[in-house]
Structure 1
Amino acid sequence: MDRLFANGTVNAAQFGEGPPLFLFHSLLSDRASFDAIVPDLSKSFRVIVPELPGFGRSQAVTGGLAAVADRMAEAVKDAAPAKDAIVLGNGYGGFVALQMAIRHPGIASKFVLADCGAAFSEPGREAFRNMAAASRAKGLAAITDVAMRRLFAPDFQAAHPDLMADRRAAFLRTDLDVFCAACDALASLDLRPELGKVKSPVLVLVGEHDEATPPPMSHELASLLPQAHLEIIPGCAHVPQLQSPELFLDVIGDFLPATFSAPA
């Protein structure tokens, strides 16, 4: 069932009862990328899966990634005023969660940052500039193959044609202006000088074969955060919770409260 938070600007689905657990989706996907793990998580948590600003029925914001993070901070405060929330972000959602942790200390008790980082290499920055330029010139359809390659390895794509058709359709529903603005923000992002402000415990995760946010970015992120632990998820790329949900839940299980038990 969907609910609106942050004065009606953020649309989110809610499942289960218990401590609040937010799931922030990636740029190249949508909130359905968490569908495979929500049923297990909702046995122990009130799982809140928002559409990030500009996606689905959530209102867009101007002002870059900081404004996106501020809007999501409003949503977290609205849904979890006791500040006992756990926030899990994947990809772009991870960057939003990290920026939120920097700008709003104490807003959540723990963070799980999956397949993100604090800054991209120059080739990574160039990739975002190229995607933005190509999509502005020719539309999102022109970069769909590139987008899917950043999410999933070719062999995984070949083995899961129905899933890939669904993910392509989800990407093509993305608002072009929101996508390009996010690409511009990520191409210039460097949060490394501010990571010391994050006081909450953080679990940093990355898929072993992630090409969009390669493992060195997660190594750097974990090394610069005051309280962080790094886990590499074998055999996975940029959206491990979709590619290998049971393994993903097993990896995050020890970091979550003891009330949660990963599926056997």
Structure 2
Amino acid sequence: MPAHRMVTASDGCVLALHTLRPGRADVEPLVFLHALAMDARMWQGVADRLDIVAPLYALDCRGHGASGKPAGPYTTARFAEDLAQVLDSLGAARAHVVGCSMGGTVALAFAGLYPQRVASLSVVDCTAWYGDDAPGAWEGRAQRALREGLASLIPFQAERWFSPGFAAASPEVLAGAVEVFLRNDVNAYAESCRMLGRADERERISRYTGPAIVVVGESDYATPLAMSQDIMGRLPGAELAVLDGLRHYTPMEAPGRVARRITSVLVRASSLSQQ
């Protein structure tokens, strides 16, 4: 997927921004943020099903895809600043921000740090905080990748990503996700794992009071329902949508269902802007 533009962040890291669908220049854009070890392509199915006039972009977060892969440490605040600088490059004061898994945690960080720049917020299969044992658990995953290679994590990852029935019925989707996963730079992957282990957006996300939706797969055990409910309790303008039968990568398994939930918050944002 060729990048629409390359944006240089303030620390020199080059970020790849992809246009999933052009739209009206006078409408606030929508920017997608992908999951750990994925890239912008995970959002194409959702973008194809969104019937809106806004330009649709997807960012390869630093350390991923066609973006630069600098040495760490990585932080959610740095990833959020990257998004702010991407919006600056688009001449956009605000954007509709959509993130899944790691991208959802980054979206929460962005909403907490730059609430005035968020037109609406949609977070999918994510958490604001992984828990007290997160630093050790994520360091363990990083060390396994560094020691045994990314391929060693595939059985663990694939089971979490998709429901068993979907993986069997759509092997090409699973194979595509595995291919993207294996192309990652292992050091950047390890730094991203450490970032998620340290991430704690619980306090600052309440600074964002605009329209929001929290979407989670009913059978997501990577970021289970309780984590989405915690986010809900901290976002005054949020709604919750639980998608039955789905696991962690709901945008890839059920793009139409996710697109409908995003559309609902975009409609709410449009209504509020017209009041």
TM-score by length of 1: 0.89
Corresponding position: 1:165 with 2:170 = no
For residues 63-142 of structure 1, what are the structure 2 equivalents within 5 Å? Answer: 63-83=74-94, 85-122=95-132, 126-142=136-152
Q: What's the secondary structure of 1:6's corresponding residue?
A: strand
Q: What's the secondary structure of 1:17's corresponding residue?
A: coil
Deviates more, 1:183-192 or 1:107-116: 183-192
1:31 to 40, 57, 70: 40
Q: Which residue is 1:11 aligned to?
A: 16
Q: Which residue is 2:163 aligned to?
A: 153
CA RMSD in angstroms comes to 2.2
CA contact (8 A) 2:50 2:260 kept: no
Deviation at 1:247, TM superposition (A): 1.5
TM-aligned CA distance change 1:208 to 1:123, over 3 Å: farther
Q: What's the secondary structure of 2:127's corresponding residue?
A: coil
Q: Which residue is 2:273 aligned to?
A: none
Q: Which residue is 2:254 aligned to?
A: 244
Distance 2:89 2:16 in 1: 12
* Identity rate, percent: 26
Deviation at 1:195, TM superposition (A): 2.3
2:55 to 20, 43, 46: 46
Distance 2:134 2:157 in 1: 13
CA contact (8 A) 1:16 1:43 kept: no
Deviation at 1:193, TM superposition (A): 2.0
Q: Which residue is 1:177 aligned to?
A: 187
1:217 to 205, 209, 227: 227
Unmatched tracts of structure 2, length 5 or more: 271-275
Q: What's the secondary structure of 2:57's corresponding residue?
A: strand
Deviation at 1:27, TM superposition (A): 0.5
Unmatched tracts of structure 1, length 5 or more: none
Q: What's the secondary structure of 1:210's corresponding residue?
A: coil
TM-aligned CA distance change 1:113 to 1:257, over 3 Å: same
Question: What amino acid maps onto 1:51 in structure 2?
Answer: D
Distance 1:124 1:165 in 2: 28
Summarize deviations over 1:200-246 as a string: whole Å, max 9, x none. 32211111111211111000011112221111111211111210122
Distance 1:201 1:247 in 2: 19
Summarize deviations over 1:99-158 as a string: whole Å, max 9, x none. 111122211211101111111134655542321121011110111111212211333222
